[in-house]
Amino acid sequence: YNLVVVPPDMTNFRKQTLPVLEQYLAGGGEVLALAPAAESVDGRPSDAVRQLRQKYAAQWHEVNGLEGLLAEVRKRLPPRIEFAAPAPSGIGFSERTFANGDRWVMLANTGLQRYRTQAVVAGGAVEEWDSVSGKMTAAAFEPAGGGRVKVDVDLAPAGSVVLFVKKTGQPGRPAGGQFARLETGSWQAKADTANVLVLDYCDYKVNGVERKDANTWAANWDIWQRHGFERPAWDNAVQFKKRVFDRNRFGKDSGFEAVYRFEVSDAAALKGLELAVEAPELYRVTLNGKAVDFTAAKRWLDPHLKSAAVERLAQPGWNEVKIAAAPFDVKMELENIYLRGNFTVESAGRGFRVGAPRVLEFGAWRRQGYPFYGDAVTYSASVDVPAGSSQVKVELPEWTGSVAVVLVDGKPAATLGWQPYESVMPVSPGKHEIGVRIVSTPRNVMGPFHNPTKPRMRAWPAAWAEFPAHQPEGAAYDLLDYGLTAAPMVSVAK
């Protein structure tokens, strides 16, 4: 060690530490102590540490506080890294040194502000190691004199960088390549999959009791309780052996009926319309009195959630989906059902209505008729890369989603999940298509939609257990904004 620091409140040493520490002091090492000499060794009273301090009093220095410690350290050791700009609070530093003198230098930004500067480290060459892709590339560095190099550091909020500093190596690439703005064609937006309307209120009948305009969560609990269960067997619960299935003996008069209603304001919304129901094979499902055929239905989101074509069964105006179950079966659960297709979703006095399709633009999808959409939207534009350029940079100034995928000519070129929301990609001169796919989350499909605490970044079973007794207006649903809200910035390397 070059220097040993005794931390504050260190009142005990291990017995094995003392001979090693004495050997270090005998070799001329120094100790900076933020605490008086410890009075215990292995948890027992001992003056061994005090005697060691007295024996090497000229090398054992007591310092007052962290500022004093920093001043004393700087007198004795050169900094292992220096920054051109003062580092804000929240910048973390760690390093690992190899036997040959090479080392890893790891920097992290735990703050909310971007930190861009240059760092000076001892060494002859620097590589940047990408912890996501595993790529190792020459970093932008230049000689700083005295066996040191100066390297660019760019730490986005919550960002990090891993530098591999070598004792010797070839000169690095010139620091700071410059980019010039590149004009694009008009941006076009297209949803990757069908739009969605969630139907989460219904009328239902069970055991001679009829309820109107009930949330499906409440209806499901009532149905199970009226069939002799304390609660739904699969809702936040575990079956012991086959105790639930052993009760699966219900008469032909058991079961329930549930009716969901939706309004279509424009006939154009009916083209390609589909209805998605969980485990439809357990029920008799009709739309406007006609059976819905799920034999050719396709899986959607879940193996048991099937989406079937209903374009020929639906109609402009009001529509009625009926789910009939008889006899009751413990595999049944009354859940939300879903409309899927090329339409928009319009807020109404109670819930929502289905409207005519429209072209998506920049902005939140929720405000463009896609409030329940839980997939991705791809924005694309043409560019003409000039001769002599071989790199394109794409920057996303404003967007909301889980990740963004940058595409070049339809092929994924970069994935952006944290700041900086930009990527540099190789291209050849000529015409190309630049795309940005914004990926949302299942939150707006699955909810919760009505919890008064409006939970964010988390959800738990009880979060779905709070809702208005009757369906509120669409504007009252708790839905998140996803989308690309400003045009991407595209530039080319000069």
User: Residue 357 and residue 271: Cα distance in Å, rounded?
Assistant: 10
**What is the number of alpha carbons within 13 Å of residue 293 lying toward its C-beta?**
6
User: Does the reported pTM lie above 0.85?
Assistant: no
Q: How confident is the model at residue 457 (pLDDT cuts 50, 70, 90)?
A: confident
pLDDT at 115: 94
Per-residue pLDDT reduced to its tens digit, 148-161: 999 999 999 989 99
Contact 154, 161 (CB under 8 A): yes
Q: How confident is the model at residue 264 (pLDDT cuts 50, 70, 90)?
A: very high
Average pLDDT of 89-108? 93
**494 has pLDDT over 60:** yes
**DSSP H helical ranges for 77-130:** none
User: Residue 404 and residue 422: Cα distance in Å, rounded?
Assistant: 10
Average pLDDT of 96-118? 92
Per-residue pLDDT reduced to its tens digit, 236-262: 888 899 999 999 999 999 999 999 999
Which helix (H) or strand (E) element contains residue 66?
helix 65-76
**173 has pLDDT over 90:** no
Range in 2-16, 159-173, 364-378 the model is least confident about: 159-173
CA distances from residue 128 to 21, 79, 154, 160 in whole angstroms, order as listed: 37, 21, 12, 11
Per-residue pLDDT reduced to its tens digit, 364-382: 999 999 999 999 999 999 9
CA 336 to chain centre: 26
User: Residue 162 and residue 220: Cα distance in Å, rounded?
Assistant: 52
pLDDT at 237: 83
Beta strands in 342-457 (DSSP E): 344-347, 352-355, 376-385, 391-395, 399-400, 403-408, 411-416, 422-426, 430-439
Q: What percent of the chain has pLDDT over 70?
A: 98
Nearest to 372 by CA among 214, 204, 138, 197: 197
Q: How confident is the model at residue 175 (pLDDT cuts 50, 70, 90)?
A: very low
| Ordered strands of the 44-45 beta sheet | 12-13, 40-41, 44-45
